[in-house]
Amino acid sequence: MTEERRQLKTVTKAPTFRYYKATHKPELNRRQKHTNQKLSLTKPKLIRLRNLPSIIALMIVFVAVVFNGLVDTAANYKYAAHSGVLPAESYYTKSINEILSRSPLYRTKITLSTRDLENKIIQKFPEISAATVSLPLVGTRPIIGIVFNKPVLAVQTNQKMLLLGEDGRVLAEAEGVTDLLPKLSDDSGLDYKPGQWLLLEDEVRFILDLVKEVKSQGLTVQEIIIGTSPQDVIIKLSGDSYTVKLNFGFDVRQQLGALWATKLQIKNENKNPVEYIDVRLGERIFIK
C-alpha cells in the first residue's frame, strides 16, 4: 500500500486543456501588433509637430538675414553746408538713388563698395566736396553724408549763371538768388561745364580780396569783367562813370592803392576820366 501511494504521488499531472486560451491567443497577438503599429505611426507625427515651431523660427531667421543683406536704392541722406544757390537737396537725392539702382553690385551689402560709390558721387557732382557711405548693421537703407563746396563767386557767361568754388572750378549752374555772391561777367565766349576750371585759385583770391578792399573804402564794386584778354580784370565802382583796369599778375592791394591815390588827385584837380584808369603797371598809371 505504501509503495502504491508513492507511485501515485510521483505520477505527473497531465496539462489541462483550456479552450478559450487555445482559441483566442492569436487574436490577442493581432490586437497587440495593431496597437504597436498605431503607436509607431503616431510617434513620428508627434515629433514633427513638436519641432514645427523651431523649424518656423529658423525659417524666419533665415529670411530676415537674407533680407537684411540687401541694399535699398532709397538711401537716407544727411546734407551739410548746402547753399541756397545750388540745386535743391531733392535733386541730389534722386540722382544718387539712380546711381545706386544702376549697378547690381550695389544691391547687397557684401558686394557694395562704399569707397567706389563715394568716388562716383564726387566725380558726378563737382559741387560736392566730400561724400561718406555707411551700411547699417540692421536695416537695408545705406546712410549717405554729403558735404558741399562753398560757392564764392557767380559768373555770368553765355546766358548762364555759373557758381565757382574757391579753387576756381565751376560747381554748378545757379538755381537760386546770387545777390550775396560777388558777380563777374565772362566775355571770353567759352562754354564752361561743371567741373571745369574757369579761374585759377589765385585769381579767385584776387577777386575776393578786391571786393573786400573796395568795401573797406565804403565803396561797392558794381561790375567785374574778365575774359577780354588774359590776366586782365576790368571793374566799375558804384558812382563812377569810368572803368578801372587791373591785372591778375600783380598785387591787388598795390593796384588799388594806386587807384585811390589817382582818384584823390583827380578830385583835387577837378578832372574826370572819360573812359578808364589803368593801374595794371602799379606806379605807371594811365588815364583816358
pTM: 0.72
Q: How long, in residues, is the chain? A: 288
DSSP 120: H
Average pLDDT over residues 79-108: 91
CB-CB neighbours of 112 under 10 Å:
17
Top pLDDT among 48 and 283 is at 283
Phi, psi (5° rounding) for residue 280?
A: -65, -25
Q: Which ranges constitute the DSSP H helices of 69-171?
A: 89-102, 114-124
Task: Give CA–CA dist 157/190, Å, rounded.
Answer: 8
Place of cell 578801372: 244
Q: Is the backbone of residue 18 left (phi > 0), alpha (psi -120 to 50) or beta?
A: beta
User: Cell numbers 503607436 label which residue?
Assistant: 39
> Average pLDDT, stretch 136-164?
91
Alpha helices, DSSP H, located in 103-200: 114-124
Q: Which amino acid is it at 222?
A: Q
**Apex 90 CA angle, 85 and 92, nearest 5:** 80
Average pLDDT of every residue of the chain: 82
Please state the rounded mean pLDDT for residues 35-39: 51
Q: Check pLDDT > 80 for residue 3.
A: no
Q: Average pLDDT in the 246-264 region? A: 92
Cα–Cα distance measured from residue 131 to residue 129, given in angstroms and rounded to the nearest whole number: 7
Confidence at 27, pLDDT banded by 50, 70, 90: low
Q: What's the confidence (pLDDT) of residue 274?
A: 73
Mean pLDDT, residues 66-71 taken together:
69
Tally of CB atoms within 10 A around 182: 18
